[in-house]
């Protein structure tokens, strides 16, 4: 709305009251939210299961697909890559490392580890901004 103000040198000076509406599009990777998604998906699929060689393939597909779907549903301008490793608990050692060449301001990764009596499960998610 307009306020007519003739104080300034007799000229008609219109003062507009502006309401600036800022749309903040979150294009920075939200790690906490992502870890939450990975955690829920893993616990949903693996729950209290015992390691079974034949079922691992199925479990991994389910976990990865659930994670991807939930991440996409966040509607953010990111491309996602989700990897999952399930290993039988045998006393053997396992090491993972990853190195990325990306835009560190907007891209990010997070991982979630589930330790069971019979197995280990590591789920990693990489999000790359478009």
Partner 1 sequence: KVERTDDKSYTIQPHFRKKFRPMQVEGIIQEALQEKLGKEKYNVDKAQKWTRELTEGIKTKLKDLNWDRYKYIVQVVIGEQRGEGIKMGTRSFWDSDTDNLAKATFSSDSMFAVAVVFGVYLY
Interface with partner 1 (CB under 8 A): 51, 53, 56-57, 60-61, 64-65, 67-68, 71-72, 79-103, 107, 109, 124, 126, 128, 130
| Alpha carbon distance 96, 112 (integer Å) | 13
CA atoms within 13 A on the CB side of 100: 15
10 vs 91, beta carbon nearer partner 1: 91
- The nearest distance, CB 48 to partner 1, in angstroms, is 19
Residues 127, 72: Cα–Cα separation, whole Å: 10
Q: CB-wise, 15 or 79, nearer to partner 1?
A: 79
Residue 32 beta carbon to partner 1: minimum distance, rounded to whole angstroms? 20
Closest CA to 121 of 93, 82, 84, 68: 84
Q: Which is nearer to partner 1, 35 or 109 (CB)?
A: 109
The minimum distance between CB 50 and partner 1, in angstroms, equals: 12
Torsion of Cα atoms, 105 then 77 then 82 then 46, to 10°: 120
Tell the smallest beta-carbon distance from residue 70 to partner 1 (Å): 11
Contact 103, 79 (CB under 8 A): no
Q: Is 22 or 92 the residue whose CB approaches partner 1 more closely?
A: 92
Count of C-beta atoms within a 10 Å radius of residue 37 = 24
């Amino acid at each position: 709305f307009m306020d007519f103000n003739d104080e300034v040198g007799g000229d008609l000076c219109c003062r507009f009251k502006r309401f600036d509406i800022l749309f903040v599009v979150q294009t920075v990777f939200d790690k906490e939210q992502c870890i939450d998604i990975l955690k829920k998906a893993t616990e949903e699929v693996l729950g209290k299961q015992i390691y079974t060689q034949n079922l691992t393939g199925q479990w991994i597909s389910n976990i990865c697909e659930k994670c991807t779907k939930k991440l996409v549903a966040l509607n953010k301008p990111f491309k996602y890559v989700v990897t999952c490793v399930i290993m039988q608990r045998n006393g053997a050692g396992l090491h993972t490392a990853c190195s990325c060449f990306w835009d560190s301001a907007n891209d990010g990764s997070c991982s979630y580890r589930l330790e069971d009596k019979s197995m280990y499960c590591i789920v990693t998610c990489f999000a790359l901004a478009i």
